[in-house]
Amino acid sequence: MSDRVLPLQGVHNFRRFGDLPTTDGGRVRSGLYRSGQFSRATPADLDAMDGLGIKVVADLRRPREREMEPSHWPERAGVTVLASDHAGSAEPPHLVFLRDNELTEKSIRGFMTDIYRELPFDPGNQWVFAQGFRALADAEPDHGFIVHCAAGKDRTGLFCAFLLTELGVDEEAVRADYLMTNTAVNFERIIPAIAKRLKDELGKDAGEAELRAFLGVDTAYYDAAMEAVGDPRVYLREELGLDEDTLARLRERLRDAW
């Protein structure tokens, strides 16, 4: 599945998550992308992203994150950006954790597992999840779509899992897409840079194992979210308020005919 990764220089975890088979013999259309944030994109990265025909962007970051790391997409004509202001000026939980806790592998894995139980029920995440699904249900056939957060793995990973599940992709393939972060991201490159930032900005030391637990993904994290959600189909309908007509259009537009 390495051909699904777009090797950009300043943008991590940029990859396709469409074009997958469904259990009934269908196929999810192409033109669906997922990624980390874009504020460090190089000029070549910007050219590559602008060539993908993306017209809808689901930005799962909180307002404070968007202020700290400005997005590429709002400056592009004809692009709709879906972003929530539900969290107001509140500091993102992962930044609070990094600042206020000892960074052991155990504490990091505990935090990640706990936060995954909360992510599906965060009001801001739910708003972007629902609006992203509605936008996809009404999208033109040639319009590309991207969903992203800060690292493109947790909030983004759950959005993609819910969407692919609704479209009928096999659970094993859904998990494989989620877990691809662990091979799509060049950890050898980014871990030293993140470790330096933690030391310089917070005075915290963190080794490779600790940072991989924080920057990567794990089946335990995914399972914690799915156990909290229960049935994803019920979650989409009852928690996100998506009606059957919207979901039927979504399935029609994102499968086979595209």
Instruction: Please check whether residue 23 lies inside any domain of the structure.
Output: yes
Sign of CA dihedral 144, 148, 153, 159: negative
Which domain CATH number covers 227?
3.90.190.10
> Rounded to 5 degrees, what are φ and ψ at 33?
-130, 155
Check residue 258 and give its pLDDT.
41
Let me know: does 146 contact 54? Beta carbons within 8 Å.
Answer: yes
Instruction: Please check whether residue 65 lies inside any domain of the structure.
Output: yes
> Average model confidence (pLDDT) for the chain?
94
Check residue 227 and give its pLDDT.
98
Q: Residue 90 — left, alpha, or beta (φ > 0 → left; ψ -120 to 50 → alpha)? A: beta
* Residue that has been written with the tokens 């928690």 in this structure: 239
Let me know: does 72 contact 49? Beta carbons within 8 Å.
Answer: yes
> Rounded to 5 degrees, what are φ and ψ at 52?
-95, -5
Instruction: Please check whether residue 245 lies inside any domain of the structure.
Output: no
| CA dist., res. 5 & res. 90, Å (int) | 33
* Alpha helix segments (H runs only) across 69-148: 93-100, 105-118, 123-137
Q: Which residues of the chain have pLDDT under 50?
A: 257-258
Check residue 3 and give its pLDDT.
87
Instruction: Please check whether residue 254 lies inside any domain of the structure.
Output: no
Nearest alpha carbon to residue 46 among 67, 71, 63, 69:
71
Instruction: Please check whether residue 75 lies inside any domain of the structure.
Output: yes
Let me know: does 73 contact 81? Beta carbons within 8 Å.
Answer: yes
Check residue 114 and give its pLDDT.
97
Instruction: Please check whether residue 253 lies inside any domain of the structure.
Output: no
| CA dist., res. 169 & res. 173, Å (int) | 7
| CA dist., res. 71 & res. 50, Å (int) | 13
> Rounded to 5 degrees, what are φ and ψ at 21?
-70, 150
Check residue 185 and give its pLDDT.
93
| CA dist., res. 34 & res. 50, Å (int) | 14
Check residue 141 and give its pLDDT.
83
Instruction: Please check whether residue 256 lies inside any domain of the structure.
Output: no
Helix, strand, or coil here: 82? strand
84-87 CB contacts, 8 Å cutoff, 24+ apart: 84/60, 84/123, 84/124, 84/125, 84/127, 84/128, 85/124, 86/122, 86/123, 86/124, 86/127, 87/62, 87/63, 87/124
223: containing domain: 2-240
Q: How many domains does the chain have?
A: 1
Instruction: Please check whether residue 105 lies inside any domain of the structure.
Output: yes
